[in-house]
Amino acid sequence: KSDSTYDYIVVGGGTSGLVVANRLSEQKNTTVLVIEAGGSVYNNPNVTDTLGYGKAFGTDIDWAYETTDQEYAGGSSQIVRAGKALGGTSTINGLVYLRAQAAQIDAWEAIGNKGWSWKTLLPYFKKGEQLQDPAKYPVLDGSGISFDPAYHGFTGPLKVGWPSTQLNDGLAQKLNATYQNLDVPVQFNRDPNSGDMVGYSLYPKTLDYELNIREDAARAYYYPYQNRTNLHVWLNTHANKITWKDGHEATADGVEVTLSNGKTTVVKASREVILAAGALKSPVLLELSGVGNPDILSKYGIATKVNLPTVGENLQDQMNNGLQFESKKSHADGKSSDYVSYPSAVQLFPNSTALGADLLRKLPSYAAQVASANGNVTKASDIYRFFKIQWDLIFKDGIPVAEILLSPYGNVYSSEYWGSVPFSRGSIHLSSADPTAAAIIDPKYFMLDFDFEAQVQAARFIREVFNTEPLGDMAGAETTPGLSTVPADADDEAWADFIKGKYRSNFHPITTAAMLPKEIGGVVDTSLKVYGTSNVRVVDASIMPFQVCGHLQSTVYAVAERAADIIKGRL
Ligand code: FDA
């Protein structure tokens, strides 16, 4: 193996990596190697079980990255999960297939990424997708499912749809009636994947309806194509760093890897090295390869190949909390449904206008706080621009400010939720020149008070929903946190212990190798090429310049589909 040369080496056989490897190897004269630290999970029931969310957590296919102690959020560290397997995080995630509000992707272009907008990404959402039409599955009749075919693909590799275990007991319709009865009603949204997410919906999942198993990136983009002789995958192989051609220019010529037998070797790439190791690994691989902030690299004895100080900055995630209520009725075993609502600022906040004005005044100081936390590597004036765009998205474009899930099981209604667009930004950097050492991950959860306010207000919103008929009549007492822990009329302060003590990472880390103009802190350009290099790209969640209101995977798949066309020279 050690003396082979490939045209392209893809580092990370996860959600994005397998898309790019598949599309590049469609070209018969092109050789592609995928390097994946994990193994195959084709027959792993913790992966395949569509009702098994969480079973893989803490097992050997979970990287379980740990953050630093979070000083603005009760002082404890958090575990940020990510899949270590062929298929990456798509093998352990919650299967949710939800995209973004169109205006959020348009903001990518507005900040300077020409060619990246909802209009240009929608064809790639569709290209990857194979929506299994629920009309073909009578068992789903009455479940309340709907979609608009104009926004979906039906022939792509990735199967998306609704499971046969979907409840069809009338709850969907009762929830709809409940949302209509709120003081500020939330309307039914027939298809939240249409670019307009606001409203109440039933969403599709990445699953194979016929087989009733999870659809992950490996099942969609690798296994059906594994006989291609120009597509190789090395499993249980850890990428350590990029190797460079001699000379001034930063041109990658390979990747140093540690093979499954423990041997370290270099595998050569004649065209490009493509990083797809995830938002919590790709920036670290760049640093290990000498691309980053010289002050950080020199601490660990790594020579700077490309001076690019914003590698690993701008780390954004969301915070997840959950409320629970008793259900008067017992829900059938082996059935599961999830209902989502996406309130806009006007629907979530009783005083949206005043709150918006107050937040606008605070943005300069928010930006200064983020900049000073990272030693002004990201400039306050640039952060301010990002924040102003985010403010416009919230208060002018009316994007969702929270995601509220409702899942009934047994005698419980569980309602997980999160503010969709926190402002806090942290960082990730290496802690050692040892490629297996844990990185220093600091998302700075709850650093900025708007993020906390949104998280509190979403909890109040959920309480209102459960106090509104007909759901109010179907639900019993609130068991988490419960009115004795957080009283009905609790002010923000009274919510703090619960929210900061019980939150978890929402597992949606992004922006650690941001696609942005270089002068405002970008790590990759609009062709996803790392600034200062001639042939290194990043194609995973690291490049997303702003958070999206859906979950990440659909956007990760679409970005990777578009990346493949860029690499092939089609765009
Ligand atoms: P991804 O993690 O998929 O791929 C990275 C790959 O690189 C992995 O296979 C990894 O093993 C490999 N790798 C890393 N370092 C390496 C090295 N040094 N050498 C070799 N290989 C290396 N989204 C959604 O849309 N719906 C949902 O329901 C959920 N739910 C959810 C739950 C949980 C628990 C998590 C953790 C995440 C989600 N998400 C989600 C998020 C979503 O799944 C995620 O953002 C994408 O799958 C990320 O895709 P990437 O390609 O960026 O990385």
- Alpha carbons 530 and 173: distance in angstroms, whole number: 49
Stated as kind and residue range, the H or E segment containing 294 is helix 294-299
The helix/strand count (H/E) of the chain reads as 15, 25
Q: Model confidence over 395-437: pLDDT tens digits?
A: 999 999 999 999 999 999 999 999 999 999 999 999 999 999 9
Q: Model confidence over 259-312: pLDDT tens digits?
A: 999 999 999 999 999 999 999 999 999 999 999 999 999 999 999 999 999 999
548 has a pLDDT exceeding 80: yes
Do strands 231-234 and 32-35 pair parallel, antiparallel, or not at all (unpaired)? parallel
3 has a pLDDT exceeding 70: no
How far is the centre of ligand 1, averaged over its atoms, from the C-alpha of 60 (Å)? 14
Tell me if 338 CB under 6 Å of ligand 1.
Answer: no
Tell me if 418 CB under 6 Å of ligand 1.
Answer: no
Main-chain dihedrals φ then ψ at residue 231, nearest 5 degrees: -120, 110
Exposure of 443 by Cβ count < 10 A (0-12 exposed, 13-18 middle, 19+ buried)? buried
Tell me if 524 CB under 6 Å of ligand 1.
Answer: no
What is the best residue among 552, 554, 557 to mutate for testing ligand 1's pocket, by most ligand atoms within 8 Å of CB? 552
- Please count the structural domains in the chain: 1
1 has a pLDDT exceeding 60: no
**Alpha-carbon torsion (518, 359, 197, 465), positive or negative:** positive
User: HEC profile for 58-126?
Assistant: CCCCECCEEECCCCCCCCCCCEECCECECCHHHHCCCCECCCCCHHHHHHHHHCCCCCCCHHHHHHHHH
What residue owns the CA closest to ligand 1's atom 46?
553
CATH number at residue 406: 3.50.50.60
- Alpha carbons 388 and 381: distance in angstroms, whole number: 11
Q: What is the mean pLDDT of residues 181-207?
A: 97
460 has a pLDDT exceeding 60: yes
Q: Name the average pLDDT for the chain.
A: 97
Q: Model confidence over 137-158: pLDDT tens digits?
A: 888 888 899 999 999 999 999 9
What's the first-to-final CA gap in the chain, in angstroms?
A: 33
2 has a pLDDT exceeding 60: no
Which atom of ligand 1 lies nearest, measured to the CA of 435? 18
Tell me if 337 CB under 6 Å of ligand 1.
Answer: no
Which atom of ligand 1 lies nearest, measured to the CA of 54? 34
Largest CA-CA distance found in the chain, in angstroms, rounded: 72
Q: Do 27 and 35 touch, CB atoms closer than 8 A?
A: no
Reply yes or no on whether 508 is catalytic.
yes
Q: What is the mean pLDDT of residues 454-468?
A: 98
Provide the residue range defining the domain that includes 164. Answer: 5-567
How far is the centre of ligand 1, averaged over its atoms, from the C-alpha of 278 (Å)? 6
Task: Give the per-residue pLDDT at 247.
Answer: 86
What is the DSSP-derived secondary structure letter of residue 400?
B
The total of other beta-carbon atoms located within 10 Å of residue 506's CB is 23
How far is the centre of ligand 1, averaged over its atoms, from the C-alpha of 557 (Å)? 11
> What is the Rg, in whole angstroms, of the alpha carbon atoms belonging to the chain?
23
What residue owns the CA closest to ligand 1's atom 12?
12
pLDDT band at 334 (very low <50, low <70, confident <90, very high): confident
Tell me if 222 CB under 6 Å of ligand 1.
Answer: no
Tell me if 507 CB under 6 Å of ligand 1.
Answer: yes
Tell me if 539 CB under 6 Å of ligand 1.
Answer: no
Give residue 395's identity as a one-letter amino acid code: F
Reply yes or no on whether 429 is catalytic.
no
**Alpha-carbon torsion (166, 167, 170, 172), positive or negative:** negative
Three-class secondary structure of residue 319 per DSSP: strand
Q: Do 341 and 199 touch, CB atoms closer than 8 A?
A: yes
How far is the centre of ligand 1, averaged over its atoms, from the C-alpha of 448 (Å)? 27
How far is the centre of ligand 1, averaged over its atoms, from the C-alpha of 389 (Å)? 27
- Alpha carbons 65 and 552: distance in angstroms, whole number: 18
pLDDT band at 333 (very low <50, low <70, confident <90, very high): confident
Tell me if 509 CB under 6 Å of ligand 1.
Answer: no
- Alpha carbons 377 and 148: distance in angstroms, whole number: 44
Exposure of 422 by Cβ count < 10 A (0-12 exposed, 13-18 middle, 19+ buried)? buried
The answer to whether ipTM exceeds 0.85 is yes
What residue owns the CA closest to ligand 1's atom 49?
15
How far is the centre of ligand 1, averaged over its atoms, from the C-alpha of 506 (Å)? 13
Tell me if 343 CB under 6 Å of ligand 1.
Answer: no
How far is the centre of ligand 1, averaged over its atoms, from the C-alpha of 501 (Å)? 26
Higher pLDDT, 500 or 164: 500
